[in-house]
């Protein structure tokens, strides 16, 4: 029996085997990403279109307007115009109780400047408290809102942080509507 340590078999070989395994796995992950990326992108685009239609059902299609996030007010990062002129849809990424830019909202504003609908797309809010923003009854509170809307009844007790951020996000959408109308 040979108890001598061999540098090649004891150290170099395991490192080489692990390196080879890592390279093969990285190549397989890259291949999988290349195959699935177009499918994921298509699914995300379909979901985004469905959300726009949900909040502005009168629209017959949407065109992304070319404003940068820096040009738009507050937490609004994208603006879509309905191709038939019935209004605009605003994508909002606001801070929330769950952290920075964790409250993702879509808000539509009609051609008359009034909020048509809102919807929370994703969030990291506290279950039971912060998630009250998901209720249809809460969304309906914003229907008909304009720049001078009162916030009475919008801040839910026990969920003041989340609902305060939500109110601010919808105000940002209304500001963005006014900005877009002036820019046109």
Describe the strand order of the beta sheet including 115-122 as a list of residue ranges.
Answer: 62-64, 76-82, 87-96, 99-110, 115-122
pLDDT of residue 109: 96
Coil, strand, or helix at residue 96?
A: strand
- Closest C-alpha to 99, from 160, 156, 161, 159: 161
More confident residue, 76 or 3: 76
Mean pLDDT of 161-180: 89
Whether the predicted pLDDT of 98 surpasses 60:
yes
Q: What integer pLDDT is reported at residue 135 of this predicted model?
A: 79
* Radius of gyration of the chain, Cα coordinates, nearest whole angstrom: 24
What is the per-residue pLDDT across 119-141, written as a single tens digit (0 to 9) for each? Answer: 988 887 767 766 777 778 888 88
Of 100 and 178, more confident: 178
Q: What is the pLDDT of residues 39-52, one digit of tens each?
A: 988 988 898 899 99
pLDDT surpassing 70 at residue 153: no
Asked whether the beta carbons of 83 and 72 are under 8 A apart, the reply is no
pLDDT digits (tens, 9 = 90+) for 6-64: 877 788 888 999 999 999 999 999 999 999 999 988 988 898 899 999 999 999 999 99
DSSP three-state, residue 75:
coil
pLDDT band, residue 100 (cuts 50/70/90): confident
Could you tell me the two tokens for 38?
């177009």
In the chain, where the domains are located: 1-55, 58-183
Q: What angle do CA 127, 103, 78 make, to 5 degrees?
A: 155
């Amino acid at each position: 029996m040979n108890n001598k340590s061999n540098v090649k078999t004891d150290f170099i070989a395991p490192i080489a085997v692990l390196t080879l395994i890592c390279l093969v796995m990285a190549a397989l992950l890259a291949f999988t990403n290349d195959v699935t990326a177009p499918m994921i992108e298509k699914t995300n685009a379909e979901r985004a279109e469905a959300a726009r239609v949900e909040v502005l059902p009168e629209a017959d299609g949407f065109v992304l307007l070319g404003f940068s996030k820096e040009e738009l007010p507050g937490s609004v990062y994208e603006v879509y115009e309905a191709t038939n002129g019935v209004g605009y849809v605003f994508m909002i990424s606001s801070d929330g109780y769950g952290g920075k830019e964790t409250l993702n909202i879509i808000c539509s504003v009609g051609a008359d400047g009034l909020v048509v609908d809102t919807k929370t797309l994703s969030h990291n809010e506290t279950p039971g408290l912060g998630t009250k923003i998901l209720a249809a009854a809460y969304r309906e509170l914003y229907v008909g809102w304009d720049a001078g809307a009162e916030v009475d009844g919008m801040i839910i007790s026990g969920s003041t942080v989340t609902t305060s951020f939500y109110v601010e996000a919808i105000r940002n959408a209304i500001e963005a509507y006014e900005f877009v109308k002036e820019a046109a």
